Structures are given as C-alpha cells and as structure tokens.
C-alpha cells in the first residue's frame, strides 16, 4: 500500500545507540528487538516493510535533554523521518521550549509517564498540555502499563478520560491500542470515543480476535498504525494487520490516511 505511516518508532543518535539499546534491553530482557537503534537501521526496516514515513519518538528522561534531543531531531528529520521531540514534566521553561518545537516545524511531542515519572492527570502536567494544545501540536503519550516498569497506574483509561475532559482541544495520541495490558478497561471506557489510538504491541498479549473487535468498534478515523520499532518487526506487524481482514477502507485509514491527516499531508 502506498504511503504507509508508522506512528510509533524509536531510534537514537549513532554514537549512543549501542549503549541505549543495551540499557533498555537490560530493563526488559524478555523483549526481543529487531534493529540496532540507529536511524539508518530504522530506514532499512521501513524499506523492507514498505513503510513510507515514520514518527520517531524521543523521550527526555531529564529536563536538560530537551535541547540535545531538539538538535538531533533537526538533524535527522527528512521526507521519511518525522521526529517528535520530548518535553520533561519538570522542564523549567515549557513555554519557550514548546514554542520552539512548533516554530521549528515539528508536528508533535512525545511524553512517557514511566521514563519521566509522572501521573498523566496530575496538576503539574496541565500547563504543558495547555501549551501543546495552544501550539496545535500532537502529543503522543505512552498509555497503559509499561513492560519494563512496576505496575503503577500512571496513564490508565480513567486518567486518559480526565485529561481529555480537561483539554478537549488537545490532539492526544494514546499508544498500544489505548493502554498496554489495560485492554479490558480500554474496551469498556475508551473504545467508541473520538480518541486517537496507535495500535502497537498487542501481539502476544491479547488475541487477534479481541484486537479485531476493538478496532471495528472504534471510530475508524481515530486509529493509527504503529510498531514501537525496534521492539517489533514492521513487516510482521503489517502482515498481522492484513490477517485481521478489516476491509480495504479501514485498513487504509489505519495505515495511511489518518496519520496523513494528523500530520498535515506530505512534509
Ligand atoms: Zn515506544
């Protein structure tokens, strides 16, 4: 299919990639990965799978990582790589930094409640959400549990609903089909509502029947293909979607059109 967009990928600067992948793998040793964490390797895996563009999510694990991540994001952006820089919840200058992300022409920001130690709906995040919303940026926020962390409810469906209620204009993209390993609650409270869901990382954790049922019950304009590459193989992820037999129209929305619309067409 022409123009497939992967809305959830990761890579690191070449000089740091080996160290980053080793550290992340030590936290979740059971989890296989499919490339070495370099942008060049991500591009190769996209070529092999027939993926046109990828949203590359960075995570600032300390406030002072904002600048280096922004600089690197500027270096690697291309027709095919769409970097989402990252804001830390304790960033001392969120107003200046979020404006900078928007002024530099980036489409969105990535945040992660486990790697950045926050609860999704706690008050210290609210100014950040307001600024992201005001600058019309997309926020990709890790939702559900995280395989590498203790099961504290940092971004569960109830917190997602609270943030959406408080920031109806925020272009929030939840990850992992609404919330990793919280799919019963996702199905009970989020499915059917106009909430963007990137759909990576369900394979092996819930049955494809459940995935299919949830995808069919959700508004088709709010689903986005994602792999969490390098922690999944994009070719296999695409094959699994094809096997769900969602029909040409829904499949095209998930793989191409919704992301195209959100990202504002070709860059
Ligand atoms: Zn991820």
User: Could you report the per-residue pLDDT of 154-209, keeping only the tens digit for each?
Assistant: 999 999 999 999 999 999 999 999 999 999 999 999 999 999 999 999 999 999 99
Q: How many angstroms is it from 210 CA to the middle of ligand 1?
A: 22
Number of domains in the chain: 1
> pLDDT tens across 210-256, in order?
999 999 999 999 999 999 999 999 999 999 999 999 999 999 999 99
CB within 8 A of 173, min separation 6: which ones?
7, 108, 138, 139, 140, 141, 196, 197, 198, 224, 262
CATH of the domain at 160: 3.20.20.140
Q: How many angstroms is it from 92 CA to the middle of ligand 1?
A: 25
Domain assignment of residue 78, given as a range: 5-263
198 DSSP β-pair partners:
224
Q: Which helix (H) or strand (E) holds 13?
A: none
Q: Read out DSSP for 80-145?
A: SEEEE-B--TT-S-HHHHHHHHHHTT--EEEE-TTTTT--TT-GGGHHHHHHHHHTT-EEEE--B-
pLDDT at 1 over 80: no
The angle subtended at Cα 196 by Cα 191 and Cα 201, nearest 5°, is 80
Q: How many angstroms is it from 75 CA to the middle of ligand 1?
A: 21
pLDDT reported for residue 29 = 85
Q: In angstroms, what CA-CA distances link 229 with 83, 201, 261?
A: 14, 10, 22
**pTM (2 decimals)?**
0.96
Q: How many angstroms is it from 156 CA to the middle of ligand 1?
A: 16
Q: How many angstroms is it from 36 CA to the middle of ligand 1?
A: 15
């Amino acid at each position: 299919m022409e123009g497939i967009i992967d809305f959830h990928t990761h890579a690191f600067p070449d000089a740091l990639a080996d160290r980053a992948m080793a550290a992340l793998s030590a936290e979740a040793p059971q989890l296989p990965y499919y490339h070495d964490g370099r942008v060049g390797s991500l591009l190769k895996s996209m070529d092999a799978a027939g993926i046109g563009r990828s949203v590359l999510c960075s995570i600032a694990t300390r406030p002072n990582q904002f600048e280096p991540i922004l600089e690197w994001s500027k270096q690697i952006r291309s027709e095919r790589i769409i970097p989402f820089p990252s804001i830390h919840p304790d960033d001392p200058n969120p107003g200046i930094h979020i404006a900078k992300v928007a002024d530099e022409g980036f489409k969105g920001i990535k945040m992660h409640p486990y790697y950045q130690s926050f609860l999704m709906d706690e008050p210290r995040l609210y100014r950040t959400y307001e600024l992201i919303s005001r600058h019309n940026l997309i926020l990709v926020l890790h939702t559900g549990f995280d395989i590498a962390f203790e099961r504290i409810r940092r971004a569960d469906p109830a917190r997602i609903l609270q943030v959406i209620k408080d920031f109806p204009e925020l272009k929030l993209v939840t990850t992992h089909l609404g919330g990793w390993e919280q799919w019963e609650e996702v199905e009970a409270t989020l499915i059917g509502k106009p909430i963007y869901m990137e759909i990576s990382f369900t394979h092996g954790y819930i049955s494809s029947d459940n995935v299919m049922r949830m995808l069919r019950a959700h508004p088709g304009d709010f689903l986005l293909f994602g792999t969490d590459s390098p922690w999944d193989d994009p070719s296999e992820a695409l094959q699994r979607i094809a096997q769900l037999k969602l029909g040409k129209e829904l499949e095209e929305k998930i793989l191409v059109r919704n992301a195209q619309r959100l990202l504002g067409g070709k860059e």
